[in-house]
Amino acid sequence: MNSGQWEQPEPERSTTRPALDVLDRDQDRLLYDGDTSRTPEIRALGDGFETYWMVLSWYQAAGVRTLGHVGAVLEPADIMPESGIIEHLLLPLSGPDSAYVRRRLVERLDDACDLAYREFRERANERVGNDTEQTYEKVDPEEERNPLMRPAFRQLDQGQAGALEALWSGFDDREQLGRWVRSLAAVSNGEKQAGLLDGIVASRPLLEALLGENSAENRLARYRFAAAAVLPMFLRGARTLNGGEESKGETTGGGDAFSS
């Protein structure tokens, strides 16, 4: 008997979706590992944050990497200075129970990350085929610089981070402020709040904080404004963005809490 007749046929190559691996790694960085290669860097939630700026940076990055679902666990209002949660996130203010609170937030965010993973699964359609088709075998989740392996999400992420940096630094004049507000339509995927600029101009204390010097008082006002008005827009933008571009198999590459 020819032993070859018992040999099983060679199975077809399985379909892989490395974008899901990249998303999973992006989420691990949010919760556990951080990401020093990203600008501004992402500090792991479990480690806590040294400044309010780090809190804003983390939350914005989390919005993109959870498709906006971070808000189901940790709302923008929850990171306000009076919320009771911020003292557990900020290392200068944290107490003996803070590490436990942060750990519970990490554990609760696991479900939000899973929901984003399931939603994104339908879009992650890269396939490893035969030798004549585009393959993605060389994609390394550790090196992929596009969040969710999609250039559109990287553009959203970088645009939002840049908008927050500009807000944190303040504006030289009303024209610069107006141009910044105008830019929010793009970095929120069209989810900019109607009448936002009129609301800013109508509030003299807020306007003075945005145009004033970089004092701790003004940065506190800017932080409150970011949490109340800007981050919710960013979350809506992350939920509605349908970035379908596929990666081409190449990688790209303490103290004062108000200090940057």
Instruction: Sketch the domain layout of the chain as residue ranges.
Output: 13-240
- Cα–Cα distance, 194 to 164 (Å, whole number): 19
Q: Quick one: pLDDT at residue 129?
A: 41
Question: How is residue 104 annotated by DSSP?
Answer: H
Q: Quick one: pLDDT at residue 167?
A: 98
pLDDT of 165 above 80: yes
- Cα–Cα distance, 170 to 226 (Å, whole number): 12
Q: Give the tens place of pLDDT for each residue, 16-58.
A: 568 888 899 999 999 999 999 999 999 999 999 999 999 999 9
Instruction: State the helix-helix crossing angle for 98-121 and 18-28, rounded to 10 degrees.
Output: 170
Structure-token pair, residue 151? 């250039």
pLDDT of 246 above 80: no
